[in-house]
């Protein structure tokens, strides 16, 4: 007999679980970015998204200046300790150095390429954009200059003064209103941003974790009583004994867990071919039933994963991790496999109570099944770990929220600025996927 418990309520607040924070935002070089960006980067598709189409204004004819709160420092002039920390991003011969904020500034240290450095030097005195920028004038260049303004690298003239970051958003973007008919994950993601905006948190690490774990269900005393014995959780799920356990042992190998990942139980497909090193994108499927629904849907999920040749999946190993929204995650090799697995799960699972994973792309509109793609990014600081798709997004959203909150007189809601900021990074905030043609940039940021 499986233990049963009354359904617990959900909570918006997440638990802060630290992960290494990427301390530098690598801007890349201006010239490379001009050719990597795709046309139409100023729009966010209205596909059940958080916002309607958000068009950029044409700002190429405006007056700009380099942000005086920054000092441009060549790599050779940096301290040995900072040079060592920057060896990752500056391994590229096209990189120049860093923009170092003055002591009284709250701005972040940024690595820059040679062409971005040249533009920063050229705009040391206020003026129009130099010819090497306007000579390639198109929508891609306009989007790039907008990104540099939103990133506080450049400032744009306004009312006799200069503005950047959140204070410049209305100079850069046409105002748009929230879409009313949102899908479940879009609503959850927008709720997470508004929640993060109100949190009395001042550091990006903690705020990113709060966004990442938003929509986790509370570990209530009732659930704790239900699973007070070590074997009770496996009995409840059916993974340790019974027909499901037998089927899983026949089709899957449970992997030993290193200390860093004991919050997960991981399985690999028994007869999966050893394909060696894969040079493919890393796609993920998230299956997010509520805790009390897991025993009913897990046999079907396992059948679909085996039938569609999912090579690896993981599930929360304890009560706390089964209460998180991303409690079941599968690693896939292609977007075609994502579509196949998502379609099969949608057809076979039917009407299931869903929790919903924020900042993922909904495959079912109800939040039960969604997907993401891990960015193929180099390490930004020596010793920092590779980050997942959702952490990559929440890191950037957290930074943008804090930047906007530091400008309370900008007249821009921090959540709105955060959305536009990640759009400029190449993310469709309607579907939380890379914008068309922008996947390479997202993977290499």
Residue 408 has pLDDT above 80, yes or no: no
Least confident of 133-137, 220-224, 345-349: 133-137
Q: Are residues 157 and 286 in the same domain?
A: no
Distance of CA 68 to the CA centre of its chain: 30
Q: Reduce the DSSP state of residue 271 to 3 states and report it.
A: coil
Residue 346 lies in a domain: yes
Provide the pLDDT for residue 78: 79
Among 324, 355, 386, the domain-final residue is: 355
**Number of domains observed in the structure of the chain:** 2
Provide the pLDDT for residue 259: 61
Contact criterion met (CB below 8 Å) for 119 and 130: yes
Provide the pLDDT for residue 410: 66
Residue 44 has pLDDT above 90, yes or no: no
Contact criterion met (CB below 8 Å) for 245 and 239: yes
Bridge-based pairing state of the strands 64-66 and 154-158 = antiparallel
Residue 216 lies in a domain: no
Q: Reduce the DSSP state of residue 197 to 3 states and report it.
A: helix
Bridge-based pairing state of the strands 328-332 and 252-255 = unpaired
Residue 441 has pLDDT above 50, yes or no: no
In whole angstroms, what is the distance from residue 156 CA to residue 163 CA?
5
Can you tell me the mean pLDDT for 196-206?
Answer: 91
Provide the pLDDT for residue 103: 74
Q: What is the DSSP letter of 60?
A: T
- Residue 208's closest CA among 9, 436, 49, 16? 16
Express each pLDDT in 375-394 by its tens digit: 654 434 334 455 788 898 99
Q: How many residues does the chain have?
A: 445
pTM of the model: 0.70
How many Cβ atoms from other residues are within 10 Å of residue 445's Cβ?
18
> Please, what sign has the CA dihedral across residues 226, 229, 233, 238?
negative
Sequence-distant (≥ 6) Cβ neighbours of residue 196 within 8 angstroms:
207, 210, 211, 214, 397, 398, 401, 415
Express each pLDDT in 242-299 by its tens digit: 899 999 999 999 987 666 557 899 999 988 765 444 444 589 999 999 999 999 999 9
Residue 15 lies in a domain: no
> Please, what sign has the CA dihedral across residues 167, 425, 26, 28?
negative
Contact criterion met (CB below 8 Å) for 353 and 336: no
Q: Are residues 351 and 424 in the same domain?
A: no
Token reading at 47: 């596909």
pLDDT band at 107 (very low <50, low <70, confident <90, very high): confident
Residue 195 lies in a domain: no
Q: Are residues 332 and 411 in the same domain?
A: no
Provide the pLDDT for residue 420: 84
Bridge-based pairing state of the strands 328-332 and 312-316 = antiparallel
In whole angstroms, what is the distance from residue 151 CA to residue 147 CA?
6
Q: Reduce the DSSP state of residue 313 to 3 states and report it.
A: strand
Q: Buried b / exposed e across 273-302, counting CB within 10 Å, b at 16+?
A: eeeeeeeeebbbbbbbbbbbbbbebbebbb
Residue that the structure tokens 């120049």 belong to: 96
Residue 392 domain boundaries: 30-180+378-444
CA atoms within 13 A on the CB side of 27: 32
Least confident of 34-48, 86-100, 410-424: 34-48
Provide the pLDDT for residue 21: 25
Distance of CA 237 to the CA centre of its chain: 30
Residue 83 has pLDDT above 60, yes or no: yes
Residue 311 lies in a domain: yes
Q: Are residues 38 and 112 in the same domain?
A: yes
- Residue 68's closest CA among 100, 30, 113? 100
Contact criterion met (CB below 8 Å) for 424 and 150: yes
Q: Are residues 412 and 302 in the same domain?
A: no
Sequence-distant (≥ 6) Cβ neighbours of residue 299 within 8 angstroms:
238, 243, 244, 247
Express each pLDDT in 299-331 by its tens digit: 999 999 999 999 999 999 899 999 999 999 999
Distance of CA 191 to the CA centre of its chain: 16
Residue 233 lies in a domain: yes
Residue 18 lies in a domain: no
Q: Are residues 347 and 409 in the same domain?
A: no
- Better-predicted residue by pLDDT, 106 or 75: 75
Residue that the structure tokens 């499927």 belong to: 285
Q: Are residues 300 and 422 in the same domain?
A: no
Residue 155 has pLDDT above 90, yes or no: yes
Q: What percent of the chain has pLDDT over 90?
A: 37
Token reading at 205: 């690490």
Contact criterion met (CB below 8 Å) for 155 and 162: yes
In whole angstroms, what is the distance from residue 379 CA to residue 86 CA?
10
Q: Are residues 240 and 334 in the same domain?
A: yes
65 CB burial (10 A radius; 0-12, 13-18, 19+) = middle
Q: Are residues 419 and 350 in the same domain?
A: no
Radius of gyration of the chain (CA): 23
Q: Are residues 87 and 170 in the same domain?
A: yes
- DSSP string of 225-240? HHT-STTHHHHHHTSS
Token reading at 133: 């920028």
Q: Are residues 142 and 228 in the same domain?
A: no
Q: Are residues 439 and 405 in the same domain?
A: yes
Q: Which helix (H) or strand (E) holds 394?
A: helix 389-405
In whole angstroms, what is the distance from residue 324 CA to residue 287 CA?
11
Residue that the structure tokens 């993310």 belong to: 427
Residue 111 lies in a domain: yes
């Amino acid at each position: 007999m499986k233990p049963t418990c009354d359904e617990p309520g959900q909570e918006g607040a997440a638990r802060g679980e630290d992960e290494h924070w990427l301390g530098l935002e690598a801007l890349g070089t201006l010239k490379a970015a001009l050719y990597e960006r795709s046309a139409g980067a100023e729009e966010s598709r209205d596909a059940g998204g958080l916002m309607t189409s958000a068009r950029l204004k044409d700002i190429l004819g405006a007056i700009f200046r380099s942000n005086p709160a920054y000092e441009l420092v060549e790599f050779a002039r940096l301290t040995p300790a900072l040079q060592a920390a920057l060896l990752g991003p500056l391994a590229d011969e096209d990189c120049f150095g860093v923009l170092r904020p003055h002591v009284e500034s709250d701005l972040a240290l940024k690595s820059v390429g040679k062409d971005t450095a040249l533009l920063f030097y050229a705009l040391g005195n206020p003026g129009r954009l130099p010819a090497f920028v306007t000579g390639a004038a198109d929508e891609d260049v306009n989007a790039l200059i907008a990104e540099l303004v939103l990133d506080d690298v450049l400032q744009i003239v306004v009312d006799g003064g200069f503005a950047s970051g959140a204070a410049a958003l209305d100079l850069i973007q046409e105002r748009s209103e929230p879409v009313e008919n949102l899908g479940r994950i879009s609503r959850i993601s927008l709720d997470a941003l508004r929640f993060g905006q109100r949190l009395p948190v001042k550091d990006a690490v903690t705020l990113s974790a709060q966004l990442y774990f938003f929509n986790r269900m509370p570990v209530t005393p009732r659930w704790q009583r239900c699973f007070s014995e070590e074997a009770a959780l496996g009995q409840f799920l059916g993974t340790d004994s019974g027909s499901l356990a037998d089927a899983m042992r026949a089709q899957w190998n449970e992997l030993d867990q290193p200390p860093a990942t004991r919050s997960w139980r991981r399985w690999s497909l028994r007869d999966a071919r050893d394909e060696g090193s894969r040079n493919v994108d890393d796609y993920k499927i998230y299956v997010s039933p509520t805790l009390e629904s897991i025993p009913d849907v897990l046999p079907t999920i396992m059948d679909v994963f085996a039938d569609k040749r999912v090579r690896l999946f993981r599930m929360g190993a304890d009560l706390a991790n089964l209460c998180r929204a991303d409690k079941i995650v599968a690693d896939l090799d292609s977007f075609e496999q994502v579509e196949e697995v998502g379609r099969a799960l949608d057809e076979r699972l039917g009407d299931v109570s869903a929790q919903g994973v924020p900042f993922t792309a909904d495959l079912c509109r109800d939040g039960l099944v969604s997907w993401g793609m891990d960015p193929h990014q180099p390490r930004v600081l020596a010793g920092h770990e590779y980050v997942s798709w959702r952490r990559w997004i929440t890191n950037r959203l957290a930074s943008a929220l804090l930047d906007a909150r530091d400008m309370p007189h900008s007249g821009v809601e921090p959540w709105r600025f955060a959305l536009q900021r990640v759009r400029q990074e190449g993310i469709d905030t309607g579907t939380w996927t890379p914008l068309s043609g922008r996947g390479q940039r997202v993977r290499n940021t």
